Structure 1
């Protein structure tokens, strides 16, 4: 699949529009995010969700996170926005923070893996943000790797078979590396599921005291969360 060397701060309009059309048609492809390369499609389409699982060879008991272009877009994905989640959105979006919300009941079941929750982040990388906006829908944002293999920040390290099977590939060169922080706002007070793109000291005022990781809720443990392949 063709690759294009374009400075990462300047999203290529033609390629973004093409990728957005593919997403709206139910396809799935590879694109840069602020920390790692992502694999995604229309999060509201059951067929697109299944395609991402198939491409990634991801077990269906693991949920997928979702990227949005603006905070208002989450209203189609959640039952409500907890007060602390709203504060976290105001403080850290767009950025390296994935927030776990109570999921709307109409979402494709594999997207949430039956957990009743959904991880959402507002895209910060200019290409990812432009893609979400152009697609006009929430976009799956799981890491672009075969499940169980390392997630990558350098496009030269992407799995060639995955590239070949994807419906598009937006190559912005190497990105910063590392996954997002994940905070579960479906519990009160919220809990840190994984450290990452936002320093822990910045998140601490919003979080519960005690252990950072909750092991009792399927889909939300350190090993079994929406970004479980993004190490």
Structure 2
């Protein structure tokens, strides 16, 4: 397992991703594992590393709302309001997916999960690539997400192409709001509360 821990090595990270590599990297919550969204073979590797069940989908981190059209077939006005208030931040939005995406990126409602992260490493990567970054916690399916690299599962550590070490991370999860559902559905509670969402979308409900 090759580790890096300095922004001076960001070019190595970008080169790896653009060649279809699989990266373990820090986010504002836990360590994630990812690749560029256009590399279908790398997405397959991640699903295998995690032992993800068929139908389990991964979210995509994007540079900002200017990249939504790369992945979304439509952007409702409610999404614009939420993005302006909560991005970058811990709100994942499920929006109608365009055709041609990897099946692991499209959920049961036909949507794709997107978020803009405020974290320094993810922002640095996304400023340098012309794609979205797959983001799923770097743990086998059903196990606890790692907050440090000491917590990282050995099989993932050995088989990932590169690991970014940012020390101990704070934990936590983003709220997932599915705007493909009518009325909009909170599929996972997290840092953004139902009350905060209902201030903009009064009809929002929680599963």
Class of the TM-score when normalised by the shorter of the 2 chains: over 0.9
CA contact (8 A) 1:41 1:48 kept: yes
Any residues of structure 2 matched to 1:25-174 within 5 Å, and which? 25-112=19-106, 115-174=109-168
Higher mean alpha-carbon deviation, 185-194 vs 50-59, is at 185-194
Q: Distance in 1 between matches of 2:118 and 2:60?
A: 13
Q: Distance in 2 between matches of 1:125 and 1:140?
A: 15
Shift of 1:29: 1.1
Distance of aligned partners of 1:82 and 1:113 in 2 relative to their CA distance in 1, 3 Å threshold: closer
Shift of 1:103: 0.5
Deviations 1:142-187 (A, max 9, x none): 1111111111222221112211100110111112201110111112
CA contact (8 A) 2:22 2:33 kept: yes
TM-score (norm 1): 0.83
Shift of 1:53: 0.8
Distance of aligned partners of 1:79 and 1:212 in 2 relative to their CA distance in 1, 3 Å threshold: same
Distance of aligned partners of 1:115 and 1:50 in 2 relative to their CA distance in 1, 3 Å threshold: farther
Q: Which has the higher strand share?
A: 2
2:29 equivalent to 1:3: no
Q: Distance in 1 between matches of 2:100 and 2:205?
A: 33
2:197 equivalent to 1:197: no
Which residue is 1:13 aligned to? 8
Q: Distance in 2 between matches of 1:160 and 1:119?
A: 28
What runs of 5+ residues in structure 1 fail to find an aligned partner?
Answer: 7-11, 214-231
TM-score (norm 2): 0.92
Q: Distance in 2 between matches of 1:140 and 1:210?
A: 27
CA contact (8 A) 1:53 1:60 kept: no
Distance of aligned partners of 1:21 and 1:204 in 2 relative to their CA distance in 1, 3 Å threshold: same
Aligned CA-pair RMSD: 1.8
Q: Number of matched residues?
A: 207
What runs of 5+ residues in structure 2 fail to find an aligned partner?
Answer: none
Higher mean alpha-carbon deviation, 34-43 vs 108-117, is at 108-117
Q: Distance in 1 between matches of 2:108 and 2:75?
A: 19
Shift of 1:111: 2.0
Which 4+ stretches in 1 moved above 6 angstroms?
none
